Structure formats: structure tokens, C-alpha cells
Structure 1
Amino acid sequence: MAYIDFGLVLAQPFFLCSLILFVIGWLITFVAACTIGSTIHLVWVETFYNLFILLGATLAVATEAVHNYRLVILTFIAGSLSLLFICIESTINIRSNKYSAVGSGFIFQSLVLIFWVIYFGAEEDSLAKRTINGFTIPRTPGVAGNNAAVSNGVAHHGAISPNQQAQDNLSSVVVVPSQEYAYKARALYSYDANPEDNNELSFVKGEVLDIVDNKGKWWQARKQDGIVGIAPSNYLQLI
């Protein structure tokens, strides 16, 4: 089950800024359209169509499900841009402040959607996506302290931040190789195992791991070559 975490939205400045710009443009269009009424029906169709895209894109980021729905989002964006250009031309050409406000709001939204084509459509290894990800704020789960928590035969130590190993938080892990691996997860980032803990796994971004259970800060995982160990859950996304 995917959990909604709006902290993931706040951790991505580029997406957050574009989202705020989109909301501003949408509100301008909506308020202006309300004062006009139902003169141009396509304006209302596009307004609520873009609201659907706004909510869908936000939820995809907040649930770390962009890779699952990127083609769906891009398809809806393509349809929206086609309607947006028609609506902009229809409203801007009318000499009225109210219609001009509607068109201005649509222009804001079109600029954001063009950016989202790159944001959702670019491959992870592309220059554009690497640049965008370079501004992402690392997510640091709350530290549970030095007490170990046991889940499905694996004892997990306090959480650590990305790319950092706390020397005083070494894990006391019991890895059970015979466990059933019911899930698969993709690595969101590369991870170098703590050399002082032989149970931790090293993996690279994009690598797919088999997972025993998706609870806790550390998951027992198995690599494609059969190596078994534990991996920090905040580096992984279930698929």
C-alpha cells in the first residue's frame, strides 16, 4: 500500500515551485471564469481537466509512484496542452479584462505543463533529470535511537541519513536466508554498505532487489546474484 507523504513534494524544490505556479495560474483562471460564467464552455472543461492533472501529479510524487504513472501523466499533459493553446487564443483575443485574466492563468499553467513534460518524461540518466535531482533535498527518517527493532527475523538499528553511516548505530542483524521474498523494490539511490557491518548490502541506483517485508527502517533484501542482507528502506521503492 502506497502512503502519501507530502514531505516528498517539499523535498523537491523544482517540482514544488512549479506546483505553486500551477496553483496560482489555476486559481486566476477559475476566479476569472466564475465572473464570466458559461460563455466559453471549453474554458471550464480545461479548468477541471487541469485540476485533475494537478492532483494526479502531486499524488504521484507524494507516493513515490512517478515511475509507475509517468506515461499516464504525460498523456494527460499532452491532451491538456492542446486544449490550453486553443483556450489561450480564444480568450486573449477578446478585449475584456476578465477574458484576459482567464488567458493569463492558462499561460501560467501551460508553462508549468511544458516543464512537467521534462520533469516526468526525462530519463533518470539524462542531463535534465540529473540537474533537477541535484537540487532534491535528501530525506532523513527519524532516528529511533540505539534500540534495535525486530521484524520478520531481522533486527534493525536506528535509521541513518542517506550517504552517512553512524559509527555508534551499528546494527545487530539476524538475516534469515530461507525467508520468502514476497516483494520487489527498485533502488532510488546508490548505497555503500557499512564496512563494519557484513549484513548490509551495497547496491546501485536503479537496481532491483527482492524484499522479504516492507515494514521498518531496514528491509531484508536479496540481490539478483543471490547475495542476501539488509538495505535502508528510504533508499528503495516497491514495484
Structure 2
Amino acid sequence: MSFEISALIGDPFAISTLSFSVISWIVAIAGAGASDQSKFPHFTWWGIVYQLVVIIFILVFYLFNIIELYKFTLVGLLSIAFVYTTNSVNQLIYHTNDSGNSCCAAGCILLSMVDLIWILYFGGHPESPTNQFIDSFSLKKHIHTQAHLPSSDDKVPHIVDDEEYKGPISPVMNNQFQDSNLRQSQLTNAKSTGPYMSSSQLNGLENFSSSDVNQRDLTSTKRQTIYNDTSSNNNAPSNTFRYKAKALYSYDANPEDINEISFVKDEILEVDDIDGKWWQARRANGQVGICPSNYVKLLD
């Protein structure tokens, strides 16, 4: 956790709602101070102070970029604040005629409005239309951490597409292809049966080395990573992982998918290829696979 002013500055929703809440709170506290205390409901003082604490919490969570981790907590706190402000409005408007009370009531009404907006946003699902519309204005996209597991259809195929290779094949490679028809059949079957290649479909290809193939076109946007069984990951060449991420939740890999890896909450993972919903990841024990991006958070 580190202080990030950009997390607040880059989010117009956070700046606008926090500014609106601070102005509303100032109106409420000014009205409360100018009121005749003999006619002022003492319960409202506690509500005003409580509202200030909630505003400070939200500001701190945004500045340290941990707002996603406390959304459900904030929904509960804001619900209590909403009850306080609406009840204070009822007491201030219908039971007194003091101008200071009316000013405080106006501030409480504004606070009730911003509390309701926060409840709808923080309590809404990240993929709901309202949340997606609000987040679309953010300069720094937040990582959604709610418990949502993308379907298997969201996974980016990891099969090497033979149509991507435009360069010529060297004679050395031709010599090692003793049964090219069989290997071509294996690649075709892999693409037709699913997005991943099993270890049985890779039989006969284990003797290939990068030195046997000329430079290929690596500018394609498709992923070209093939994961073998997790039991053989320790023997596979190590990949370069440029980032580190912290697990926000524990995740159990699908036993039917040999490419996924399991991890526990707060575990530090090395990750790469972070442009999709499934990231390449490596655990501390050397296990390599893919993990859902909404279960982890990038570290600076």
C-alpha cells in the first residue's frame, strides 16, 4: 500500500463526489453552529461528525488506491450515514423554524444525496451499466475485485497459430520433421478441440529448439504461449515476468484446465501479458500458468 495522488486525480467521479460532500458538510456544520442550541436536535451533531469520518475514510482509501478492497465496508458505513442525515432533515424541518436549522437541513439533504450515489456505486457490480459508465471517465482503470469469475469463453487461446509464421523454414527444421503429416494433424486437432494443447498433443515436438527455427514474426497480438502440465513446469524454460501482483482473493484452479494455477489470498505472484482477463503468472514455487486478472492487483 502506497500513497498515490494520481489515483484520486485520475478519477473524476471521486473528485466530484468528494468535493460535493465536503461542500455539503460545510453547509450542514455552519447551519448547526448558527442554530439555537436549545431547539437544535442533539442527535444531528453526532450524525454530522459521523459523516465527516466517512468522507475522510473514502478520501484516504482513494489516495492509497485501496478503494476496491473496502467497497462493501463503505456501503455499510454509508447506509448508516444516510439514516442519520435523513432523520436529521426530518427533525430540523418539521419541528423547528430556526434559520440555522434550515441551513443545516439543506446541508443534510445534500449529504443524503451524495451518500445515496456512493451506495449505488460502491454496492453495484463492476460490470453493471452504471459502474461501467462512471469508470469509463477514469484515467486510471480500477481493477475489479468483486467475486466474479470470467467464463471459459473469455480465455484467450494460447495455441500457436501456424498461420502467424511467415518466415521460411530452415533445412535443419525440415530434417527434424520426420513425420510432418502427424504433427500437422496434432496441431489441427488441438485447435478444433479447445483453446489449449494438452501434453499428449505435444508428443513428438519436445525435441525442438529455438535455434532450429529462423526469426519469426512476433508482432502478432495473439498470445503464443503454450503451457504444459503443471507437473512439468519446473523443467520448462523460465519465462520473463516483468510485473508483480498481490492476490486479493484465494483462487482454486479448474481441475479440467491444466493451464490455470491456484493461489491463496495475499500471495505475491510474478505476472506478465496483462492485456487481457487472464494473465500469465508464476508462483514462488516456480509453478507457471494463468490467473484471472480480477483476483489480483498489480504492485508498483
Q: TM-score range by the shorter chain?
A: 0.5 to 0.7
Indicate the SS of the match to 1:225: strand
Q: Pick closer, same or farther for the CA change 1:21–1:71 going to 2, 3 Å.
A: same
Which residue matches 1:74?
75
Q: Pick closer, same or farther for the CA change 1:200–1:70 going to 2, 3 Å.
A: closer
- 1:34 is displaced (CA, Å) by 1.6
Structure 1 vs Structure 2 CA RMSD: 3.5
TM (normalized to structure 2)? Answer: 0.50
Indicate the SS of the match to 1:125: coil
Does residue 184 (structure 1) correspond to residue 246 (structure 2)? The answer is yes
Which residue matches 2:65?
64
Indicate the SS of the match to 1:3: coil
- For the 8 Å contact 1:66–1:120, the answer to whether it is kept is no
The CA distance in 1 between the partners of 2:20 and 2:124, in whole Å, is 21
- For the 8 Å contact 1:4–1:59, the answer to whether it is kept is no
Does residue 16 (structure 1) correspond to residue 15 (structure 2)? The answer is yes
- 1:223 is displaced (CA, Å) by 6.2
Which residue matches 1:30?
29
The CA distance in 2 between the partners of 1:5 and 1:134, in whole Å, is 20
Overall identity of the aligned pairs, in %? 17
Unaligned stretches of 5+ in structure 2? Answer: 142-236, 249-270
Indicate the SS of the match to 2:101: helix
Structure-to-structure mapping, 1:1-239, within 5 angstroms: 2-36=1-35, 38=37, 39-93=40-94, 94-138=96-140, 184-185=246-247, 200-205=272-277, 224-225=289-290, 236-237=297-298
- 1:204 is displaced (CA, Å) by 2.7
Indicate the SS of the match to 2:16: helix
Indicate the SS of the match to 2:137: coil
Bigger share in strand: 1
Counterpart of 1:204, as a letter, is G
The CA distance in 1 between the partners of 2:32 and 2:280, in whole Å, is 48
Post-superposition CA distance 1:159-194 (Å, at most 9, x none): xxxxxxxxxxxxxxxx96699x996246xxxxxxxx
Indicate the SS of the match to 2:290: coil
TM (normalized to structure 1)? Answer: 0.62
Indicate the SS of the match to 1:122: coil
The CA distance in 2 between the partners of 1:80 and 1:32, in whole Å, is 18
- For the 8 Å contact 2:35–2:99, the answer to whether it is kept is no
- 1:116 is displaced (CA, Å) by 0.3
Counterpart of 1:78, as a letter, is S
- The aligned length equals 174
The CA distance in 1 between the partners of 2:240 and 2:139, in whole Å, is 37
Q: Pick closer, same or farther for the CA change 1:64–1:103 going to 2, 3 Å.
A: same
Unaligned stretches of 5+ in structure 1? Answer: 140-174, 187-198, 213-220, 227-234
- For the 8 Å contact 1:32–1:102, the answer to whether it is kept is yes
| Greater Rg over alpha carbons, structure | 2
- For the 8 Å contact 1:29–1:47, the answer to whether it is kept is yes
